[in-house]
Amino acid sequence: MQFSEIPGLPETKEKLINAVKFNHLAHALLFHGPEGSANLTLALALATFMYCENPSESDSCGTCPSCQRMSRLVMPDLNFAFPVIAKEKEEDDDEKTDVLTSWRKFATTLPYGNVHDFIYFNGFEKKQLNISKASARKIIQALSLMSFEGGYKIMLIWAPEFLHPSAANALLKIIEEPPAKTIFMLVTSQADQLLTTILSRTQKISVRAFSDEEITSHLVGTGLCDSKSAEQIAMLADGNMREAYRMVDQVEDKQVSQIRDWFRLCVSKDLKEIFDLADKFHKEPKESQKSLMLTGLNVTREILLKNFDLDSLLRTTEEDRKFINAISKRVLTEDHAMKLYDSFNQAHYHLERNGNAKMIFTDLSMEILVMMAQKK
Using CB under 5 A, list all residues that contact Zn ion: 52, 60-61, 64, 67
DSSP 163-176: B-HHHHHHHHHHHH
The smaller minimum CB distance to Zn ion, of residues 2 and 365, is found at 2
Considering the complex, what minimum distance in angstroms separates the CB of residue 236 from Zn ion? 36
In this complex, which beta carbon is closest to Zn ion, that of residue 60 or of residue 362?
A: 60
For Zn ion, the closer of residues 148 and 308 by Cβ is: 148
CA distance 321 to 232: 28
Q: How far is the CB of 49 from Zn ion (least distance, A)?
A: 8
For Zn ion, the closer CB: 71 or 135: 71
Cα of 374 vs its chain's centroid, Å: 38
| Min dist. Cβ of residue 51 to Zn ion (A) | 7
Q: Parallel, antiparallel, or unpaired for β 129-130 and 84-85? A: antiparallel
Q: What minimum distance in Å lies between the beta carbon of 67 and Zn ion?
A: 3
String of b and e for 106-135 (b: at least 16 CB within 10 Å)? bbeebbbbbbeebbeebebeeeebbbbbbb
Smallest separation (angstroms) from Zn ion to the CB of 16? 16
What is the spatial distance between Cα 42 and Cα 32, in angstroms, rounded to a whole number? 10
What is the identity of the amino acid at 220?
V
Nearer to Zn ion, 61 or 199 (CB): 61
Residue nearer to Zn ion on the CB measure, 42 or 241: 42
Alpha helices in 85-126 (DSSP H): 93-109, 115-122
Strand segments (E) across 229-300: none
| Residue 59 CB, nearest approach to Zn ion (Å) | 9
- Contact call for residues 69 and 40 (beta carbons, < 8 A): no
| Phi, psi for residue 229 in degrees, rounded to 5 | -65, -40
CB of 286 to Zn ion, least distance (A): 38
Q: How far apart are the first and last CA of the chain?
A: 42
**Reduced to 3 states, what is the DSSP secondary structure of residue 58?**
coil
* Nearer to Zn ion among residue 41 and residue 60 (C-beta): 60
Instruction: Count the helix, strand and coil residues of the chain and give each as a percent rounded to the nearest 5.
Output: 60, 10, 30
Nearer to Zn ion, 147 or 169 (CB): 147
Q: Judged by CB, which is closer to Zn ion: 61, or 314?
A: 61
Q: Give the number of other Cβ atoms within 10 Å of residue 316's Cβ.
A: 19
Nearest approach in angstroms of CB 56 to Zn ion is 9
> Mutual orientation of helices 357-373 and 271-283 as an angle, nearest 10°?
150
User: Which one, of 324, 298, 331, lies nearest residue 309 by Cα?
Assistant: 324
**Count H helices, E strands: the chain?**
16, 7
CB of 68 to Zn ion, least distance (A): 8
